Amino acid sequence: MDRFLLFVAFSLVSALAYAQSAVLTPPVAKSGWSVKKIGVKFSQDQDMIRGLGYDYLLGSINEPLSYDFSQLSFQEEDLHSMVCENPNLSLAFTFRPGKQSNWEIYTAAVVIFDRIDAAHYNNREEVGIKSPDYKYLNFTNTSNEVALEVGLARAIPLFKTFYFYPGVGSGIGYSFKNRMQISGHNIPVLKADDAVVFRSKTSDAPEELRTDDFDHQYEAKDAWSQRAFYSLAFGMTLFDRAELIIAYRSGIGNRNMVEGAKVPTHLRSMGVGLNWLLN
């Protein structure tokens, strides 16, 4: 998988480099290479970490913990939600390799802000939310990311003012200012060593046990991410100079924590953008 992603990224970056050289080098520029459009796009991504859970999120913490979470014992029904939300803004330059060509090569600078990766555990299936024995434990990682994307798309005209753009692309990004928030309610904790156990069975429950509510925030590790995806977009030309875009993406990738775990991801994305047509 890593070799495949690297191959896709290398191929698209090479194509982009050639496109840029074509625009900047006079002999090649005469062949028709040009900057076709400049655009901005807002997207809502779900870059879902496969197998997301407390073990991965705890492993991302970069400082000592207030509690010992090594004794956690969750059951399958305790995990009630996983969230991977990535709102982002991108600025893209699109190149056309020839005056009559319907192919487009683009590069985009992407800023992902307030990314959320979270897992929520509770025992509501066992006792109900209103029960005095109800407990929950939340792990929420927030971060920002800067990324570079490159892609190749085919411009297929539909009627006079509409275009359909199927394509492929790849991207690489670096996330920073990562923070992990851990909050819990009515959580069993061992008095002796502050070990969180979540469930305490009556048959083997330790004698020295208390319940705590807590809400702590920790510094988390930075991470690299890679993505390869296919894209489908529809464009509508406005006044011969602007283009409204609605785009969908789906793909695969991985997230590599600095000095930490490496996990696969699955990307789904919807976005709306506006392009300024230059030629």
Contact yes or no for 229/169 (Cβ under 8 A): yes
Query: In the structure, what pLDDT confidence band is assigned to residue 130 with cuts at 50, 70 and 90?
Result: confident
Contact yes or no for 210/182 (Cβ under 8 A): no
Q: Which pLDDT score, from 0 to 100, does residue 54 have?
A: 85
pLDDT digits (tens, 9 = 90+) for 54-102: 888 999 999 998 888 888 877 777 888 778 888 899 999 999 887 767 8
DSSP string, the chain: -HHHHHHHHHHHHHHHHHHHHHHHSHHHHTTTEEEEEEEEEEEEEEEEETT-SHHHHHHTB-S--SSB-TT----GGGEEEEEEEEEEEEEEEEEEESTT--EEEEEEEEEEEEEEEEEEEE-HHHH-TTSTT--EEEEEEEEEEEEEEEEEEE-EEETTTEEEEEEEEEEEEEEEEEEEEEEEEEEEEETTT-BB-S---TTT--SSEEEEEEEEEEEB--EEEEEEEEEEEEEEEETTTEEEEEEEEEEEEEEEETTS-EEEEEEEEEEEEEEEE--
* CB half-sphere exposure, 242, CA atoms < 13 A: 6
From residue 250, give the alpha-carbon distance in Å to each of 212, 227, 246, 277: 41, 10, 14, 26
Instruction: Give the separation between CA 153 and CA 253, rounded to whole angstroms.
Output: 20
Q: How far is CA 147 from the centre of its chain?
A: 11
% of the chain exceeding 70 in pLDDT? 84
Q: Which residues contact 205 (CB under 8 A, 6 or more apart)?
A: none
Residue 239 tokens, joined: 């006044």
pTM of the prediction? 0.79
Q: Which pLDDT score, from 0 to 100, does residue 206 have?
A: 60
Number of CB atoms found within 10 A of residue 235's CB: 23
Q: Which pLDDT score, from 0 to 100, does residue 53 have?
A: 85
Residue 150 tokens, joined: 């490159």
The region of weakest confidence among 141-155, 198-212, 240-254, 263-277 is: 198-212
Mean pLDDT, all residues of the chain: 84
Q: Which pLDDT score, from 0 to 100, does residue 19 have?
A: 47
Fold of 2-277: Porin (2.40.160)
pLDDT digits (tens, 9 = 90+) for 207-256: 667 888 999 999 999 999 999 999 999 999 998 899 999 999 999 999 99
Domain boundary assignment for the chain: 2-277
pLDDT digits (tens, 9 = 90+) for 164-194: 999 999 999 999 999 999 999 998 888 777 8
pLDDT digits (tens, 9 = 90+) for 12-38: 445 444 544 544 444 445 556 788 999
Q: Which residues contact 215 (CB under 8 A, 6 or more apart)?
A: 181, 182, 183, 184
- The residue that leads in pLDDT, 157 or 11, is 157
Contact yes or no for 215/225 (Cβ under 8 A): no
Q: Which pLDDT score, from 0 to 100, does residue 107 have?
A: 94
Contact yes or no for 61/180 (Cβ under 8 A): yes
Nearest to 198 by CA among 73, 11, 79: 73
